[in-house]
A and B are shown apart, each in its own frame.
Chain A
Amino acid sequence: MRSPSYPVMPVRALRPLVVLALAAGLATAAPAARAQPEDGDATAATPAASATAAKPYMGWTSWSMQSSKYPGLNPNGDYSYLTEANVLKQTDALAAKLKKYGYEYINIDAGWWRDYAWTPEFDKYGRQQADPVRFPSGMKPVADRIHAKGLKAGIYLPVGLEKEAYGGGKVPIWNAAGCTTADIVYDDLRTTNGWDSAYKIDFSDPCAQKYIDSQARMFADWGYDFLKLDGVGPGSFKSGDNYDNVADVAAWQKAISATGRPIHLELSWSLDIGHAGDWKKHSNGWRVDTDVECYCNTLVSWENSVDDRWDDTPAWTRHAGPGGWNDLDSLDVGNGEMDGLTKAERQSYATLWAIAKSPLYTGDDVTKLDSYGLSLLTNREVIAVNQGDAPPARPVTPSDPQQVWAAENHDGSYTVALFNLADRPASVTADWSTLGFTGKAAVRDLWNHESLGTHKDRITQALPAHGSRLFTVTPHGDALTWTGIEAESPANTLGGNASVADCAACSDGHKVGNLYTGSELTVNNVVVDKAGTYQIKVAYVSGDARSAEISANGGGATRHKFPSTGDWSTVNSVHVPVTLKAGSNTITFDSGSGYAPDIDRIDVPKSS
């Protein structure tokens, strides 16, 4: 930060916040078999406006370059990249290079109403107004210029009434006779949002909705098609009543609807998954994680924080769908030097975003895409995965740095991504049994536009450090048959604290929980015909990411990671390799010294 007088708004990737996030994570990592009420619709999103966000949106955002210390980007101080000239320059470049691939939004991020010293400016109704130095033409002409290129325009606001807009409570609300800023906040001027930069709005007073209406009306009049509402809680590293902005989001949805203009409403950042139902109900997308930007000399870095997404996305997967998508943040893969990533990292970044069906918006300097970056951003086969109608991929073998993610497509083929998240090259194998079939399958390499022929039972590829491959796998074999065994079967053996618990979402209504500190579940009499390594399917419930040590027949155990299922009432399944002998086997899930997920059941393929 250039000056301590800055409000703390934009920087959110800094260490103290991360520490807070970690502490919060720990606090939720306690009991094993805790039931929570279902948080709304668990299948498809209920679109706020079905025409909006039918597919993940594609475009460009100003924030990555604003937030970077890359030489020359922000000559007038932090975040100063955001200017009318730069936005229009990027608009022209996007229209020329990327529009034909589906990129259409030009999103102006934080600061359009702030001068280079970050002092905000408001109109006489307490609404943000364009900084005349950054945007000398004003915001409407910019939107017009964007539209003239056949693109859509996006704008940004923090949630709440910004403190500087309060004006001693005397500022009138536009088109709301008798309402002033004093009416829309709490008497104690409690603050809200991820930076505590605004007073929390009290929607019990009708004037509050009027204020949101006035802002929405203004954006609609200017012609904006997209609004990013930032600092929204629960989320944005905040929790508690003061930071519950569900009412704000609902008010925004209502206000947008009243304008009659379709405006995409995107929420930021690190939204609380416990409120996924609210976000789905009222918005078109939600940032599932902290900023991808590193606030460093490049736009991003692998460790801070691109790689977090592989851990944090799976819990959200089931919440994505037409009308509302899991937003993994900017896709900064267009210029290796500026991005601060290796080629392999850039491809993996683009692969995860594509298969998770995240919005695809780059924060790169579109005027300076390198040839590899351009190839990543414009690969039609990969874009089709993101924009197609198949569900987002989820991890099928997530237990070590060599992961496979997959989604079944409507035509019976699979989108399969191989990832090597390790810091060194490694081979990664996708076993067809983890996709539910056996035998042969045709493999298409999407990144390299190449058919790789038929592969029997599996495909193995060498991947560079942090590397990936992306395939379409078309089965020509047989569906796999499974032998299912319920964890709660009385034939199994429980050790330590392990116990059977009710579980509405689980098969047969029960699971085994309380697998912590030296507790174990041994599934007895797992019968296979042939000795071999089997990818067993483990259905489990885990409100946070956990691990279990899994072994067969009392042999050496391997520690496997289980991604969070998002809450304690949702079942997911992953596959873990277990080496079995012909005949009867035992498979043990041991918590070790930590906490293991609750186990619903296992399914063992009838052939390895």
Chain B
Amino acid sequence: MNPRPTDAGRDPDGDPAGDLNGDPGRDPGRDPSRRTALSLAATAGLTLALGALPAFTASAAPRRPADTAPLTGTSHDELWWRAPGDEGSLIEQGLPVGNGRLGALASNDPGRELLLITDATMWTGGLNDTLDSDGQFPYGRDDFGSFTLLARLTVDIPDHDLSGVNGYRRALDLAQGVVTSSYVRSGVTYRRQIFASHPDDTIVLHFTQSGGGRYTGSVTLEGTHGEKPSHAGSFGASFPNGLRYGAAVTAYGSGGRVRVNGTRVDFSGCTDLTVVVSGGTNYAPDADSGYRDPTLDPEKLARTKVLAAARHSADTLRRTHIADYRRLYERFTLSLGTSTDAQRSLDTWQRLTARARDGVPDPELEAAYLQFSRYLMISGSRDSLPLNLQGLWLDGNDPDWMGDYHTDINIQMNYWMADRAGLSPCFDAFADYCLAQLPSWAELTHGLFNDPRNRYRNSTEKVAGWTVAFSTNIHGGSGWWWHPASNAWLSNSLYEHYEYTQSRAYLAKIYPLLKGACEFWEARLLTTTLPGTSGEVLIDDRDWSPEHGPQDAKGITYAQELVWALFGNFAAAAAELKRDTAYAETIASLRKKLYLPEVSPKTGRLQEWMSPDNLGETTHRHLSPLIGLFPGDRIRPDGSTPQEIVDGATALLTARGMNSFGWANAWRAACWARLKDADTAYQLVVNNLRPSTDGSNGTAFNLFDIYEVEKGRGIFQIDANFGTPAAMSEMLLYSRPGHLELLPALPDAWAVSGSVTGLAARGGFVVDLRWEHGVPTSVTIRSVGGRTTTVAHGSTSRTVRLAPGGSVTLKGFAR
């Protein structure tokens, strides 16, 4: 993911987005390639009915817990600040809330609460199926489309100007999923809580006080695309692409008056006030319906939802939300050690600053950083679309790279930590998205990939299965350049979720994606003879190692590794599901013939291209040729991989350097963790924790990761917020089916004592682990489907056999 290459040459004024159902230029009945696409679509459609929910829909009455169980987390699961967010800089200063679909960034300014509200499905653009003259996809906000804001909510309280309040404090309670701000004005303590409820499908703002204060002001809900308000409490409109959307708000309080005044809701003299907002679109994850639900009126549904929620007190809504949130949050706990009282006395921003300035580890802050990523995952990835480049959060309608799905690291990294850190249910949004897009992806592949203008087309002149470009949207469309191996990386990422969960139903669901990807490569791979040998190998056709080096290189390491892993995963899946036995054998035999990368005799590094020469930038951000080290694990430093290959990978990783930005550092950290180099991995984690100032690379005020696209201009990219915690978890546990390694790369900073519960392992286990002075003191292995695994630490290894659901506690891993 990077600034678009200068030679991309996109025409920003492409045709308006075509509609899948309305394209008269193509007759599916006479297009021979259409049949395969339709069969894929049918398979996917079937599984879809079992899996995904529509994005914005009427929901059943929530379960209302009678009371709240005591918190089991630590008091350190709180981030706090001493200043509100600036209206113009909410992407760095707003606090995120979200219910998995509906999100907001909140300013928490006493005198003017501002929420920039998003819905994951709020996209412009369309199928984007007319290629540019170079055979690649248009990439504009009208044709490809862009993620955009849904609404803007303000609660003005004019008497509460920040210049006149004292003791301002603002906190994000990670353990309960609630944003709180408080301040004192004229002796009265005012308190405000904001949360996004999944069960009630609304965002709730609750204003309270103690000491005899009153709230007087107004609530305004507006669109951000020039919509006219239809009522004071709601609006609705549609985009040129036919997507309907709408939002609604209601407010209620006590002790004063709340009334509609034109396009505002005014309140006066209220001792407390509750504001409930909801909204959404008529997006439907269904290619057959053109990704729309024509029966859905989003504005009306939003009004129904806020009125339903408003029948309950804010306390009830909050209790319902917290119970729901904690069911996910408490699946995983983490302690990396104890911070000092001096560190604890600092607010989160000061703490980040001190961590970077003083170079002293702050284990509680570092653990909270990981827990923040889990908060983002719970808030941004449930029952709707997956997290995009900005997760679920925006501060404007022109996010860089459209806030889209980038398939050459970013969407994959977004989901690296979901399983590892106890949030497997949040992974479903990613899998469901791919399944819902598959019919369109397959159709576009069949119709367009072998376009003679496409430099990446198959020389074999065959095409099968599916692939996508570097960018994908939510309308079944691709953007920017074709990216053949995207299908393999997406499939492998989805398969890994199966490795963690061992859910056969899930495996059956994603099977069409894996099979379609295999079919694509079966049609694409070229047979060649390596110089100086007689053996034939299979290689990728003309391709581009992501965003790096020559754009017509055959046999790039990236693709060879991904396809090698894909073919292996498919064979395992077919065996598990007892399907396609013959085809699985075909794929397994192809896999044996795949060329695998060599170490350059010139540089000593693993080759990125089939060349001993360095054809790119030594410190390039992408680690595409190391994909077999992480997230793949073909390259293992345990004696099973030739030492020359491990050394070559290490040399390449070393050459890539330590000073990149967010996701690039996170990827490096995970690779170093795989190489068991704790200090280097930790340093890269720490590099990402550096506070971002004036747009520099690092962590913003609100802990969002900032990428400096140009001097002085930093943008939010959420991938590092997930990739860095994933690397942290790899430092605590390495796993592959049948083998776990405890604390493979534990840095000194975390070694004194620590614990983790709910850490998931590939092969179907969950690990609870305590350690002292770098040595595991107590290990509990629970099976979520796995049966046999070795559990190793240093030179000690045990074999564990469990029935699904069983668990065992191990002790005595002294060095």
Whether A114 sits at the interface, judged by CB under 8 Å, is: no
Pick the contact of B168 from A452, A461, A465 — CB < 8 Å? A461
Whether A96 sits at the interface, judged by CB under 8 Å, is: no
Which of A452, A460, A532: most chain B CB closer than 10 A? A460
- Contact call A464/B358, Cβ cutoff below 8 A: no
CA distance A344 to B161 in the complex (A): 9
- In the complex, which residues of chain B have a beta carbon less than 8 angstroms from the beta carbon of A15? none
CA distance A470 to B562 in the complex (A): 63
Whether B354 sits at the interface, judged by CB under 8 Å, is: yes
- In the complex, which residues of chain A have a beta carbon less than 8 angstroms from the beta carbon of B357? 555-556, 558, 579
- Contact call B86/A425, Cβ cutoff below 8 A: yes
- Contact call A427/B347, Cβ cutoff below 8 A: yes
- Contact call B356/A467, Cβ cutoff below 8 A: no
Please tell me which stretch of B77-85, B414-422, B527-535 contacts chain A, meaning at least 4 of its Cβ atoms lie within 8 angstroms of it. Answer: B77-85
- In the complex, which residues of chain B have a beta carbon less than 8 angstroms from the beta carbon of A558? 357
9 contacts between A and B (CB under 8 A): A343-B161, A343-B163, A347-B163, A461-B167, A462-B82, A462-B165, A467-B163, A556-B357, A558-B357
Per-position binary interface string of chain A over residues 514-538, scored 1 when its CB falls under 8 Å from any chain B CB and 0 otherwise: 0000000000000000011100000
* Shortest distance from the beta carbon of A240 to any chain B beta carbon, whole Å: 38
Pick the contact of B82 from A427, A452, A555, A556 — CB < 8 Å? A427
- In the complex, which residues of chain B have a beta carbon less than 8 angstroms from the beta carbon of A452? 166
CA distance A460 to B345 in the complex (A): 13
- In the complex, which residues of chain A have a beta carbon less than 8 angstroms from the beta carbon of B93? 424-425
CA distance A347 to B356 in the complex (A): 34
Per-position binary interface string of chain B over residues 88-107, scored 1 when its CB falls under 8 Å from any chain A CB and 0 otherwise: 11000100000000000000
Whether A469 sits at the interface, judged by CB under 8 Å, is: yes
Whether B342 sits at the interface, judged by CB under 8 Å, is: yes
Whether A426 sits at the interface, judged by CB under 8 Å, is: yes
- In the complex, which residues of chain A have a beta carbon less than 8 angstroms from the beta carbon of B359? 555-556
Nearest-neighbor residue (CB-CB) of B164 within chain A:
A448
9 additional A-B pairs beyond A463-B162, A555-B358, beta carbons within 8 Å, are A425-B85, A445-B166, A447-B164, A461-B166, A463-B83, A464-B162, A467-B162, A469-B163, A555-B359
Whether B286 sits at the interface, judged by CB under 8 Å, is: no
CA distance A343 to B164 in the complex (A): 11
* Shortest distance from the beta carbon of B79 to any chain A beta carbon, whole Å: 15
- In the complex, which residues of chain B have a beta carbon less than 8 angstroms from the beta carbon of A187? none
Per-position binary interface string of chain B over residues 153-170, scored 1 when its CB falls under 8 Å from any chain A CB and 0 otherwise: 000000001111111100
Per-position binary interface string of chain A over residues 426-465, scored 1 when its CB falls under 8 Å from any chain B CB and 0 otherwise: 1100000000000000000101101010000000111111
CA distance A464 to B168 in the complex (A): 11
- In the complex, which residues of chain A have a beta carbon less than 8 angstroms from the beta carbon of B83? 425-427, 462-463
Contact residues of B with A, CB < 8 Å? 81-86, 88-89, 93, 109, 161-168, 183, 186, 342, 347, 354, 356-359
Whether A303 sits at the interface, judged by CB under 8 Å, is: no
Indicate whether A556 sits within 8 Å of B163 (C-beta atoms), given known contacts A461-B168, A462-B83.
Answer: no
Indicate whether A425 sits within 8 Å of B162 (C-beta atoms), given known contacts A462-B82, A462-B168.
Answer: yes
CA distance A108 to B84 in the complex (A): 43
Which of A445, A450, A452, A531: most chain B CB closer than 10 A? A450
Nearest-neighbor residue (CB-CB) of B167 within chain A:
A461
- Contact call A423/B168, Cβ cutoff below 8 A: no
Nearest-neighbor residue (CB-CB) of A453 within chain B:
B166
- Contact call A424/B163, Cβ cutoff below 8 A: no
- In the complex, which residues of chain A have a beta carbon less than 8 angstroms from the beta carbon of B85? 424-425
Whether A468 sits at the interface, judged by CB under 8 Å, is: yes
CA distance A400 to B232 in the complex (A): 44
- Contact call B162/A344, Cβ cutoff below 8 A: yes
Nearest-neighbor residue (CB-CB) of A448 within chain B:
B164
* Shortest distance from the beta carbon of B521 to any chain A beta carbon, whole Å: 49
Indicate whether A462 sits within 8 Å of B162 (C-beta atoms), given known contacts A556-B359, A579-B358.
Answer: yes
- Contact call A579/B163, Cβ cutoff below 8 A: no
* Shortest distance from the beta carbon of A63 to any chain B beta carbon, whole Å: 28
- Contact call A463/B163, Cβ cutoff below 8 A: yes
- In the complex, which residues of chain A have a beta carbon less than 8 angstroms from the beta carbon of B166? 445, 452, 461
* Shortest distance from the beta carbon of A331 to any chain B beta carbon, whole Å: 17
Which of B89, B163, B357: most chain A CB closer than 10 A? B163
- In the complex, which residues of chain A have a beta carbon less than 8 angstroms from the beta carbon of B84? 425, 462
- Contact call A450/B163, Cβ cutoff below 8 A: no
Q: List the 10 closest pairs (A to B, CB-CB), nearest first.
A: A424-B86, A427-B82, A462-B168, A556-B357, A425-B83, A462-B83, A464-B162, A427-B83, A426-B83, A448-B164
Per-position binary interface string of chain A over residues 216-250, scored 1 when its CB falls under 8 Å from any chain B CB and 0 otherwise: 00000000000000000000000000000000000
- In the complex, which residues of chain B have a beta carbon less than 8 angstroms from the beta carbon of A531? 342
- Contact call B168/A424, Cβ cutoff below 8 A: no
CA distance A576 to B612 in the complex (A): 53
Nearest-neighbor residue (CB-CB) of A552 within chain B:
B358
* Shortest distance from the beta carbon of B86 to any chain A beta carbon, whole Å: 3
CA distance A465 to B86 in the complex (A): 8
- In the complex, which residues of chain B have a beta carbon less than 8 angstroms from the beta carbon of A424? 85-86, 88-89, 93
- In the complex, which residues of chain B have a beta carbon less than 8 angstroms from the beta carbon of A465? 86
- In the complex, which residues of chain B have a beta carbon less than 8 angstroms from the beta carbon of A468? 163
- In the complex, which residues of chain A have a beta carbon less than 8 angstroms from the beta carbon of B88? 423-424
* Shortest distance from the beta carbon of B704 to any chain A beta carbon, whole Å: 14
Per-position binary interface string of chain A over residues 540-571, scored 1 when its CB falls under 8 Å from any chain B CB and 0 otherwise: 00000000000000011010000000000000
* Shortest distance from the beta carbon of A536 to any chain B beta carbon, whole Å: 15
- Contact call B163/A447, Cβ cutoff below 8 A: yes
CA distance A463 to B347 in the complex (A): 15
CA distance A461 to B84 in the complex (A): 11
* Shortest distance from the beta carbon of B376 to any chain A beta carbon, whole Å: 22
CA distance A393 to B86 in the complex (A): 29
* Shortest distance from the beta carbon of B810 to any chain A beta carbon, whole Å: 39
CA distance A464 to B84 in the complex (A): 8
* Shortest distance from the beta carbon of A68 to any chain B beta carbon, whole Å: 26
Nearest-neighbor residue (CB-CB) of A402 within chain B:
B83
* A window 399-422: CB within 8 A of B: none
* Shortest distance from the beta carbon of A559 to any chain B beta carbon, whole Å: 11
- Contact call A556/B356, Cβ cutoff below 8 A: yes
Nearest-neighbor residue (CB-CB) of B353 within chain A:
A558
* A window 332-381: CB within 8 A of B: 343-344, 347
- In the complex, which residues of chain A have a beta carbon less than 8 angstroms from the beta carbon of B183? 462
Pick the contact of A425 from B109, B164, B356 — CB < 8 Å? B109
Which of B161, B164, B357: most chain A CB closer than 10 A? B357
- Contact call A460/B82, Cβ cutoff below 8 A: yes
CA distance A450 to B163 in the complex (A): 13
* Shortest distance from the beta carbon of B559 to any chain A beta carbon, whole Å: 42
CA distance A465 to B84 in the complex (A): 10
Nearest-neighbor residue (CB-CB) of A553 within chain B:
B358
- In the complex, which residues of chain A have a beta carbon less than 8 angstroms from the beta carbon of B167? 461
CA distance A343 to B161 in the complex (A): 9
CA distance A424 to B168 in the complex (A): 15
* Shortest distance from the beta carbon of B457 to any chain A beta carbon, whole Å: 49
Nearest-neighbor residue (CB-CB) of B85 within chain A:
A425
* A window 465-517: CB within 8 A of B: 465, 467-469
CA distance A352 to B93 in the complex (A): 27
CA distance A427 to B166 in the complex (A): 11
Nearest-neighbor residue (CB-CB) of B107 within chain A:
A425
- In the complex, which residues of chain B have a beta carbon less than 8 angstroms from the beta carbon of A579? 354, 357-358
- In the complex, which residues of chain B have a beta carbon less than 8 angstroms from the beta carbon of A464? 109, 161-163
Nearest-neighbor residue (CB-CB) of B82 within chain A:
A427
- In the complex, which residues of chain A have a beta carbon less than 8 angstroms from the beta carbon of B82? 427, 460, 462
CA distance A427 to B165 in the complex (A): 12
CA distance A555 to B356 in the complex (A): 10
Nearest-neighbor residue (CB-CB) of B342 within chain A:
A532
* Shortest distance from the beta carbon of A607 to any chain B beta carbon, whole Å: 14
Nearest-neighbor residue (CB-CB) of B355 within chain A:
A556
Nearest-neighbor residue (CB-CB) of B346 within chain A:
A533
* Shortest distance from the beta carbon of B690 to any chain A beta carbon, whole Å: 10
CA distance A425 to B357 in the complex (A): 22
Which of B93, B356, B358: most chain A CB closer than 10 A? B358
* Shortest distance from the beta carbon of A372 to any chain B beta carbon, whole Å: 9
* Shortest distance from the beta carbon of A431 to any chain B beta carbon, whole Å: 13
- In the complex, which residues of chain B have a beta carbon less than 8 angstroms from the beta carbon of A347? 163
Nearest-neighbor residue (CB-CB) of B93 within chain A:
A424
